[in-house]
Amino acid sequence: MNKSTFFTGQPIFSQLFKMIPRDMLSACVKEHKTDRYYKKFTTRNHLITMLYTCYQQCTSLREVVTGIQACEGRLQYLGMTNFPKRSTLSEANKSRTYEVFEKLYYKLFAKYRDILPDSQPKDRFHKRIVIIDSTTISLFQEILKNAGRPGVDGRKKGGIKVHMAIKAHEDVPYLIRLTEAAKADIPFMKEVRPPKGSIVIMDKGYNSFHWMNEWQKQGVDWITRLKSRSVIDVVKECEVSEKNKSEGVISDQHVVMGFKNGKIERVNCRLVKYYDKEKNYTFQFITSNKKWSPIRVAMFYKQRWQIEMLFKRLKQNMPLEYFLGDNENAIKIQIFCALIADLLLKVVTSNLKRQWAYSNLASFIRLHLMNYTSLAHFLENPEKCKIYYPKNEGQLELDLSG
């Protein structure tokens, strides 16, 4: 075999996993004491197994276990010598706290956040933008309470809601909270804590008068959409330029939201009505900032789509439809491991000249996860990349009864 510059002595999976510093993982394990009652299937082995699940998009315990066993020779580079049975993995997902994987995600984010790729258009506001939103993942059992009524067959599914906050220039979440799908969005707002000067963009599910006022006092601007039942008193009609009208702005008003004699706080803000020609829909935006042009308010809100694309890429490229456990802890472990897998892929592409569509990147990684080649060279020029297949790797007899 001609060992070109593309060759490396370790599979792609090993190269990805070794981006997680061993001492960082050890610190998380020590803090949460997650190896106390485990002799063989350590937290490290558990993480290797779950990241394999994510990159290979496995949908069942049997698929994970047999796949891991088939790669026994290639996992030696990670020091994994004990391979789990289905019962072992199921029990670990149930009893080993998800908090160790949550902690590891935040530590990895802190380590790599300065090199995360920034493909968004840059302006003086870009790094100030914070986007918050949530997405619901439906479950086949009522493990966590879901919103809505039971289905036509009378069965009621469970659901987990994933709340996220991202910086627009980072494109991965810096804050994640997991709740029942039936829980409201507003409690997440108190955990966001945007720094002074931030611009928070959020969906109308986060319309809390209290936090809107608090953020204004802290020097934080916010933009959201008006709820249909909101009570509005118009204070001032602002003139809209012909240029803004041609771009879709209908009106610009200074308003007060809330009942005059009610116990709920009132909010002094601004209401911008904007007609989107592409969607043939009129949007009503409210914001704390009264200096921006009305078209800028509309353009800012359009950036909220970035977090929707994040949800889409996670759901389409990570195994978040079928879970390896029927309990809350197992579901949370799989979600945080999917976030770790996503973060590592984003970091890998940070120094590449070649631009990758995320779905293509995930597919290439899945197909070549256990092949021997330099990941960096592979991603820069996959057409010329040489793949090395070890000839001395023995055939493995799988025990499918585990």
How far apart, in whole angstroms, are the C-alpha atoms of residue 115 and residue 343? 11
- pLDDT at res. 78: 85
- pLDDT at res. 326: 86
Given phi > 0 = left and psi -120 to 50 = alpha, else beta, which region is 336?
A: alpha
Residue 373 lies in domain: 12-107+325-384
Residue 84 falls within a domain, yes or no? yes
Residue 239 falls within a domain, yes or no? no
The model carries a pTM of 0.88
Residue 279 falls within a domain, yes or no? no
Residue 89 falls within a domain, yes or no? yes
* pLDDT tens digits along 38-52: 888 999 999 999 999
Res. 181: pLDDT tops 80: yes
Residue 193 falls within a domain, yes or no? no
* pLDDT tens digits along 1-60: 444 455 556 889 999 999 999 999 999 999 999 998 888 899 999 999 999 999 999 999
* pLDDT tens digits along 96-147: 999 999 999 999 999 999 888 665 556 778 889 999 999 998 886 666 666 5
Residue 268 falls within a domain, yes or no? no
* pLDDT tens digits along 68-107: 988 887 887 788 888 889 999 999 999 999 999 999 999 9
Number of domains the chain is built from: 1
Across the range 56-65, mean pLDDT stands at: 94
**pLDDT bracket for residue 383 (50, 70, 90):** confident
Q: Report the C-alpha dihedral over residues 122, 127, 129, 131, rounded to 10 degrees.
A: 100
Residue 24 falls within a domain, yes or no? yes
Residue 75 falls within a domain, yes or no? yes
